[in-house]
Structure 1
Amino acid sequence: MIYNVQIKVMPLKELLDPQGKAVIGSLKNLDINNVQDVRIGKHITLQIEAENENAAKKIAETTATKLLANPVMEYFEIEMIN
């Protein structure tokens, strides 16, 4: 069976996000002052062939851990989608 999985990779909350800070600065230059913080990450969608949902999630976790996220600087969240 084919499972659709979304993986969100974001910078750790404790770390500075230089891209997010650049966007905040640009928003202020555009007189958009209501945005308090911006965090920029990656959104990855995978189609995984697996026997069941748990197996698909395990494959997604392995993919995120070994390839998509740097655990020193980033965390990831996995969501199974229909």
Structure 2
Amino acid sequence: MSERSEPSVQVGWQAFSREGHLLGRVDAVFADYLLVRTASLLPVDLYVPVDGIIAAQGGRVILAVFGHEAYDRWHRPLKHAPHA
């Protein structure tokens, strides 16, 4: 049993890039990743691994990437992510 200190993120929280731009909202929370739906005219799902989170509190999640990197890194489902 591993003991990692993971942020306690809730569905509905806003997700921001490391420079503070709103990326979207958390649609689901899984054991090893968050599903973030982008806040754009044509929403995209981002599959953000837990290690991609810098901080989480007060309804805000700060991610470890700049806004322009988020889609390139996380727009596809993680290959080994459990749905627990």
Larger Rg: 1
Q: Which has the higher contact order (CA 8 A, sep 6+)?
A: 1
Shorter chain as normaliser: what TM range?
Answer: under 0.3
**Going by fraction, where is helix more abundant, 1 or 2?**
1
Higher share in strand: 2
Q: TM-score if structure 2 supplies the norm length?
A: 0.27
Taking structure 1 as the reference length, the TM-score comes to 0.28
